[in-house]
Amino acid sequence: MEEIVQFELSNEFRERFQRAVDEKDESFIKESLQGVNPADISTLLHEFDTEDSKYVIDLLPLETRAEIINDLDEDIREKFLKVFEPNELTEIVNHLDSDDAVDILNELPIKEREEVIANLDNEEKEANILDLLRYDEDVAGGLMAKELIKANVNWTVVQCIEEIRRQAENVQKVYSVYVVDDNDRLLGRVSLKRIILADDKKKIADIYEPGLVSVETYMSEEEVAQVMRKYDLEAVPVVNMQGKLLGRITIDDVVDVITELADEERQIMSGISGDVEEADSVWMLSRARLPWLIIGIIGGLINARLIGVFEDDLLRITAIAFFIPLIQATGGNVGIQSSSIVVQSLANPSVFNDSMVKRLVKVFLVAALNGIMLSLLVYGVNMITGGSQDLSFVVSIALFSVVLIASFMGTITPLVLDKFGFNPALASGPFITTTNDLLGLAIYFYTVHLML
């Protein structure tokens, strides 16, 4: 087995490597990348243009080439694949698991995809790929790999070991052996340890573990990730509606899903619509950010009009303007805190979740406690610094009311969005901030108007 070399990408090495690429110094390129993990080579190639990267990849062993291309980010890989001929892509696809191969094929134009599939000389690989292409990318059927090891429940241990040897040639990671009946329906699993320790003539039916956790082909990638996280699984079998074993999903695919979902939610919470990265064009980045900025502007204009309504109060008591930033900032912070907790609970559902009434009561009690503490703090600071007692009291009452309303809005908004099929993370970004700014100002000025 080739030893994996610890790799560190420094500016000096990058510059030396660039010279080697420019001078077509094959010996230096091969020697410097000997034994380096394909993921590290992918990181290095991000520093070079497509043509230079293609030149480097062509000098590497085919298996390493396949791993590098599989490891590239989807956006980068889609552009990168355009410089490969169909016969080159066929070689790469032959060295990948069926699920990874399908991910690459889905990024190709239909004509080129058909050419790659037609050039495959492995009929089993071709059948597996054609089967997976039927599924959407974001469901269990699209995530699964067809390569796995299974054994018939009626086999002896000797038969099972023979089959493991045959099937393991196409399976990179063997976590366990799935047990099926004569109709390929999933019954359970048997560990390699049990197979090794069992008597040769013993039947698989006597040593397998029934009741295996599985997912069905139509389940969304989010549900698959929840199942694997809940049961701490390294791999989960995929079955159809009849319970027939079709494939398996491994932890590396689910980690990718969890990362993508986290990136998507972080962007939504930041007020960025669409899947964008720093390397995207100026127009794409601007288009992704502009909608929520416009909403913020509209909220600001409404705020300005709202302040205009209470212009007479401002003219009579100009000191009330000093506390506008305090009211808005507190309302926004409280709302985001509340909505973030709800979004987190929606992402990790539990059958033991409290009822809506109990949840709202708890929100009210937490908000009331926080509101009292913050109001007393503001009242105390104002009195110490020589502020008006009447104004300090009014500001504290308004702040308490804003905390209650902002907590309620921050809790109810993601629940409503989730109920109507929208991403609840929308409630943790500019949406809730703008809404709470408006509500906070309205409550503040109306309280001042009534009490002063």
Residue 315 CB: number of other CB atoms within 10 A?
Answer: 8
pTM across the whole model: 0.69
pLDDT at 260 over 60: yes
Q: Which residues of 124-135 are buried (b: 16+ CB within 10 A; e: fewer)?
A: ebbebbebbeeb
Interval 175-190: pLDDT, tens = 789 999 999 999 999 9
* Per-residue pLDDT at 267: 67
Q: So what CATH class is 282-451?
A: mainly alpha
- Identify whether the C-beta of residue 35 lies closer than 8 Å to the C-beta of residue 3: yes
- Identify whether the C-beta of residue 160 lies closer than 8 Å to the C-beta of residue 203: no
- Identify whether the C-beta of residue 144 lies closer than 8 Å to the C-beta of residue 249: yes
Please indicate whether residue 35 or residue 249 has the higher confidence score (pLDDT).
249
- Identify whether the C-beta of residue 393 lies closer than 8 Å to the C-beta of residue 379: yes
Interval 414-443: pLDDT, tens = 888 778 777 776 656 666 777 778 888 888
Interval 385-418: pLDDT, tens = 877 888 888 889 989 999 999 888 888 888 887 7
Mean predicted confidence (pLDDT) in 260-284: 66
Please indicate whether residue 298 or residue 186 has the higher confidence score (pLDDT).
186
* Per-residue pLDDT at 36: 86
Pick the CATH number of 11-135 from 3.30.470.20, 1.25.60.10, 3.90.1150.10, 3.30.43.10: 1.25.60.10
Percentage of the chain modeled with pLDDT above 70? 90
Mean predicted confidence (pLDDT) in 172-176: 77
* Per-residue pLDDT at 129: 92
- Identify whether the C-beta of residue 440 lies closer than 8 Å to the C-beta of residue 406: yes
Q: How far is CA 110 from the centre of its chain?
A: 28
* Per-residue pLDDT at 317: 73
pLDDT at 200 over 90: no
C-alpha separations of 141 from 13, 63, 211, 232, 262 in Å? 42, 26, 21, 20, 22
- Identity at 391, one-letter amino acid code: L
* Per-residue pLDDT at 409: 86
* Per-residue pLDDT at 352: 45
Q: In what order do the strands lie in the sheet with 245-250?
A: 215-216, 235-239, 245-250
Please indicate whether residue 303 or residue 155 has the higher confidence score (pLDDT).
155
Interval 333-377: pLDDT, tens = 888 888 878 877 776 665 445 567 777 788 889 989 999 999 999
- 150-251 — its CATH code? 3.10.580.10
**Residues 236, 257: Cα–Cα separation, whole Å:** 15
What DSSP character marks residue 350? Answer: -
User: Of 291-295, 317-321, 333-337, where does the model show the most confidence?
Assistant: 333-337
**Residues 376, 202: Cα–Cα separation, whole Å:** 75
Interval 56-108: pLDDT, tens = 999 999 989 998 888 887 777 888 888 889 999 999 998 888 999 999 999 99
**Residues 271, 422: Cα–Cα separation, whole Å:** 15
pLDDT at 268 over 70: no
- Identify whether the C-beta of residue 129 lies closer than 8 Å to the C-beta of residue 105: yes
Domain limits of the chain? 11-135, 150-251, 282-451
* Per-residue pLDDT at 141: 94
